[in-house]
Structure 1
């Protein structure tokens, strides 16, 4: 009983001041001083700086330590997100003091761990050194359920210890670097509330500059990577953080004759795409779920494997199925495609059926498209050939043309039960970019993507013309494709279009038959799963071994067409009328039709001079500059010679583009054009 009573009286926070027990509240130990130097782990920046402001310290020097030698925290200078989160949580008054240099914050340089707990307090008459096991955190100072030791000495009582601790602080300070971003120091209104890729890259370049000043040894980098590789932390989010942090440092380092070294800030733009993706992966919030499956490619057997996040394991996904099941699924696909004739309005319905089936073929091919691109570039002997094979499929159409039905059907065939992303609701451009740089090769399915995702001319690492060009021209290794629907307002210049597989579905569904159409689609998708996709991936893995046949006459879906021809044969179905033998050029033909129509209806606006066609925008576009720019994007590459007050076109290329026979003379061309 006496033991229990004694246990109840024990203090968790044991404080000694000048060799005597200190019985007052811990806050009293820090009162009455002007300067505060601290080396401590900061679990809550808000708590720490509220403490600092409450005690009215005029000058603060803080070295942020690492708790319990946490390997994750050692990466905080190469992962800008914790740095951003730290400053975002600070009170406005603390931010102002940082800008005025009244508060200085430092962090250990890469390869050094700071685990000390040391505090120096100064005023005109006294200096106090405080040290022990306790960090300046709410948990450590609460005197609840955590044993901590704090020892404090005033200069008059023990000048030798106080002097030694001051010297010790200065030593550690000299081995640390400034943790405060320049934007906080310099900007009138520091932008710390929004974490963008651009912000992250700026912070990263700044951190690399600071690290280059203090120097980081090759040994320190190697030890950090080695330590991360043997980390056994079982907390899932920490494991993910550590994995991605390692990816970042691998991107930020290079091999030299003296070992491993950090790249310079000047080299960051060269790796901007890759670095920003890894940053985005770290900063992505849990409210944006990845609706895709985890499908990876095994280069040992060329088969697909599926991952299970709950067990962190993979098992073989590609497997053959029997002919009876192949027949059932092929008949389902045939029924689905035929709906675009059975329930739509207008003539020439074959046009839509061909596009629907072509989208299905692309979707089946998509997990292998990175490999097709790789083989094609190797066979051509040039990396620029990567751009011949687009990792983007855009399905365009007006309302009620069945775009979303098609996306849902593709999702079911690939095994995600009709799930897909809604642009800007379920998925942001930064995360689309993130997925492109992952080895999960399952396609990114997005409904109603906006045209600016492909056409924005603003410099961006996540969307727009520069992003599309970068992905198509330069992305190598394993990566997924993007399959998206959009409306017919979509327009882009030919430099972008040749990097996208563009399919346009023209025929709208008959609204008066909505009930019958819905019942028909429900019957088609019933019992649809990914069995055929598993069989397809197995067959594809066998065919792709013969690299010469992967791309034939420019058709990157060549192997897929071979497999589906065999599927229809197995199902006892003659080759359908919607089964075509090469990729479509819908955007090209859309532009050709548009300009042919303009030439026919506004002939006065086109003047023929030798080898040129001069287009008068005031006649052809009624002086509307935006309409002219929109129409110009549909012209084929090389047609435009000059764009100023008038639009000057290459005559032969223009008439080829609007599909007039080159062998005819000019007057025959014009005559045939008007006949058409």
Structure 2
């Protein structure tokens, strides 16, 4: 085996031929070439001072380091290019580099003979070096992995590097030079800002004035006070000047400002990933340390048995037994791999582990007409149970149960549907990864969850009880429970996490629902990949509420009618017998048909409900099921849902409607703004409300109904647009006549429209209209 000293780690090929190692001054030869144009990942002052000082003209663009995170196009601007540029400015890297240059090189920078540039809003990963001579046609192209620093050319640095040198290849040289001029130069800005150069020039001039012979010192050394001030100016200029300039020149889209505003949206996950990476590094570092004998003069690796034991202890030490038990509660795996989809061979692209868990096997099988009929009859039998035993049942209510089943069937493909239905990332929120069944006790919600499990997985044992993920006395139980839910969803499976009895605090407290629902959806819309949907139940109890951001990204179905207490025994017996007949044959057929639609470029994924304007992300599922009924010559049942429902919005509307009808005197009309003022602090326990009623009602009030937007919901007094509020709750506006008495009757009259429109005041209204 070759010794490491004989291994050539700096591989240099000259015109395609291996060559003996060359020194840096031979590659960047100032005697043969006097101009350098370069794109590099790093450049140091020592390298410039030692090897580039004799060049007459130098222009260097600094590119970005490789990122291991898969960012969206907008995030590449905001989280990589712009963030790194701002960090460099804030950390005073330009000033530090400039101060470390020799006085001659500083002078060359001030005279624009030596340029170092960056792209504040663009990510550049290129590496190439173009050397030329202004007196003749000699040229050199250097390609490879090296940067303009000593480490890249140090064979003792224990890093492999490639250096490909092409001498006098004028075609290659011109190609790269043109590429630099046309494609890179428009996005480049000077690394040494105007603020920095101005301070440097001023120091030189002051030195000349103070010197006896008027020459002064040509060396610039900036103190901390100066560099602090320059850093502040540079950060401001990058944000205001450079970003705006690239927007004006169509290098950046105008909506990049929205991406900048949203840059912290997933910051919770980013911080967790950083913390996890630090913990992983500590574990691996300690593992290395413990694998070597601790006190030997010449440390040796321990025996394989000892190392194996330490590896096992290290990898499990980060988890308590409770955490390991919590992770094992999710046991249902269904993997969606669209690249493996082969309809000709009846492959849906879905895979499940085989019985022993040693390898994946395809999932999905076309059913016979008889099997499809049996599957539909099974669903009909389930629905018949609700029809017979639920108090005040009607078909509109029954649609909620069927809608939950349709969602569950579609769940493995939601991430694919989201990417096909979305014109931009924001659209992705219209395909929610969370289905919540808000239900009262005794409504059959847990039974519905088990039925869903049987219809899709042929078992009823995949349910996870929210309250028992961790024992009741576990420290930080709430936070750990949410961490476990996040873990279940991120295992790579597409089968939904079936979660029973989710406690209301999860939806009402920002640190829980926002962390999981909002951050997960933001991750999905920006980086489409398979994250298991979550189908959960929660107690409705006449007061369920969600934070607005959570509600925006959640599909909520309200099951608020109970099974008749007097018939509970018969109902339990009936549904037990029905569940003995359930299987997932229909689901296996469904996945084949959905796979076919996903492979068809003509499938219309953007189907909107005409009344609500909402995207019906289950439209193709409804189409498949309607085709099932047609195939078996059965009528589509009256409880079949034709479009998505919005029970959270409806329950919110109902809550405020009841509040107004019972306490109308507490709503004070403000004629100047045509608004209603309501003292939300009256919703306290003294007045018969629950302790959290204030936040429930505040969350339930749509922002668009509030004067001054979100500000209208804050504080003691809620200010609501009167006309819009009454239309929302479906009640007559008693102030409408007073508002319109003097208004012209012509609906096209501009003055009439101005009169009818509520006036808007305040900072937010003036700013956003």
TM > 0.5 between the two?
A: yes
Q: Distance in 2 between matches of 1:640 and 1:525?
A: 48
Indicate the residue corresponding to 1:422 in structure 2: 465
CA distance in 1, matches of 2:663, 2:408: 41
* CA–CA separation in structure 1 for the residues paired with 2:693 and 2:569: 39
Which of the numbers 432, 447, 451 marks the counterpart of 1:390? Answer: 432
* Residue aligning to 2:523: 474
Provide the C-alpha distance between the structure 1 equivalents of 2:596 and 2:588, rounded to a whole number of angstroms. 13
| Distance verdict in 2 for CA 1:332–1:135, change over 3 Å | closer
- 1:521–1:627 CA distance, 2 compared to 1 (3 A): same
Change (3 A) 1:599 1:572: same
Partner of 1:604: 665
Structure 2: how far apart are the matches of 1:531 and 1:565?
A: 17
After superposition, residues 282-431 of structure 1 pair within 5 angstroms as 284-286=323-325, 288-300=327-339, 301=341, 302-308=348-354, 310-346=356-392, 348-377=393-422, 380=423, 382-419=424-461, 420-426=463-469, 428-431=481-484
SS of the residue 1:448 aligns to? strand
1:445 aligns with 2:495: no
- Aligned pairs for 1:192-211 (under 5 A) are none
Q: In structure 2, how many angstroms separate the alpha carbons of the residues matched to 1:602 and 1:664?
A: 17
CA contact (8 A) 2:677 2:720 kept: yes
CA distance in 2, matches of 1:616, 1:665: 22
Are the equivalent residues in 1 in contact too, given 2:544–2:696 (CA < 8 A)? no
RMSD in angstroms over aligned alpha carbons? 3.8
Contact 1:118 1:130 in 2 (8 A): no
CA distance in 2, matches of 1:456, 1:655: 29
1:395-544 residue pairs with structure 2 within 5 A?
A: 395-419=437-461, 420-426=463-469, 428-458=481-511, 463-475=512-524, 476-488=528-540, 489-544=543-598
Give the Cα separation in 2 of the matches to 1:283 and 1:82. 23
Output one character per residue of 1:473-492: Cα deviation in whole Å (capped at 9) or x when no partner: 22231111000011114311
Equivalent residues of 1:374, 1:477 under 8 A apart: no
Matched residue, 1:650: 721
Q: Give the alignment's TM-score, normalised by structure 2.
A: 0.50
* 2:681 and 2:694 in contact (8 A); partners too: no
The Cα of 1:661 is off from its aligned counterpart by 8.0
Q: 1:616 to 1:136 in 2, by over 3 A?
A: same
SS in 2 for 1:582: coil
Matches within 5 A, 1:152-191: none
Deviation, 1:663, is 14
Distance 1:239 1:398, change over 3 A: same
Change (3 A) 1:425 1:306: same
In 2: Cα distance, 1:335 partner to 1:240 partner: 53
Shift of 1:288: 4.1
Is 2:501–2:536's contact at 8 Å kept on the other side of the alignment? Answer: yes
Q: Deviations over 1:496-547 (max 9, x none)?
A: 2121110011221012212211221122111322111110000110112235
SS for the counterpart of 1:321 is coil
Q: Is the 8 A contact 1:372 1:551 kept in 2?
A: no
Distance change (3 Å), C-alpha of 1:408 and 1:652: same
CA contact (8 A) 1:330 1:571 kept: no
Question: Aligned runs of 1:63-142 on 2, under 5 Å?
Answer: 80=279, 107=286, 116-117=292-293, 119=295
Tell me if 1:583 matches 2:583.
Answer: no
Counterpart CA distance in 1 for 2:320 and 2:375 is: 37
Residue matched to 2:155:
none
What does residue 204 of structure 1 align with? none
- Separation (CA, whole Å) in 2 of partners of 1:107 and 1:668: 74
- Aligned match of 2:678: 615
Please give the alpha-carbon distance, in whole angstroms, between the structure 2 residues aligned to 1:354 and 1:655.
28
Question: 2-side partners of 1:452 and 1:555: how far apart?
Answer: 29
Q: Contact 2:681/2:716 (CA < 8 Å) preserved in 1?
A: no
Task: Check 1:585–1:635 CA distance in 2 against 1; reply closer, same or farther (3 A cut).
Answer: same
Partner of 1:167: none
Point out where structure 1 has 5 or more consecutive residues left out of the alignment.
Answer: 1-75, 87-105, 121-128, 141-232, 246-278, 670-676
Gap change, CA 1:281 and 1:384, over 3 Å in 2: farther
In the TM superposition, residue 665 of structure 1 has moved relative to its aligned partner by 4.2
1:638 pairs with 2:704: yes
Q: Is the 8 A contact 2:386 2:398 kept in 1?
A: yes
Counterpart position of 1:228: none
Whether contact under 8 Å (1:81, 1:283) holds in the other structure is no
- C-alpha deviation, 1:133, in angstroms: 7.7
Q: Distance in 2 between matches of 1:473 and 1:323?
A: 41
State the alpha-carbon separation in 1 of the partners of residues 440 and 324 from structure 2.
Answer: 33
CA offsets per residue over residues 98-130 of structure 1, 9 Å max, x none? xxxxxxxx848xxx788542526xxxxxxxx69
State which of 626, 630, 637 in structure 2 corresponds to 1:569: 630
Distance 1:369 1:584 in 2: 17
Aligned partner of 2:607 in structure 1 is 552
Deviation, 1:292, is 3.8
Whole-angstrom distance in 1 between the partners of 2:508 and 2:563: 29
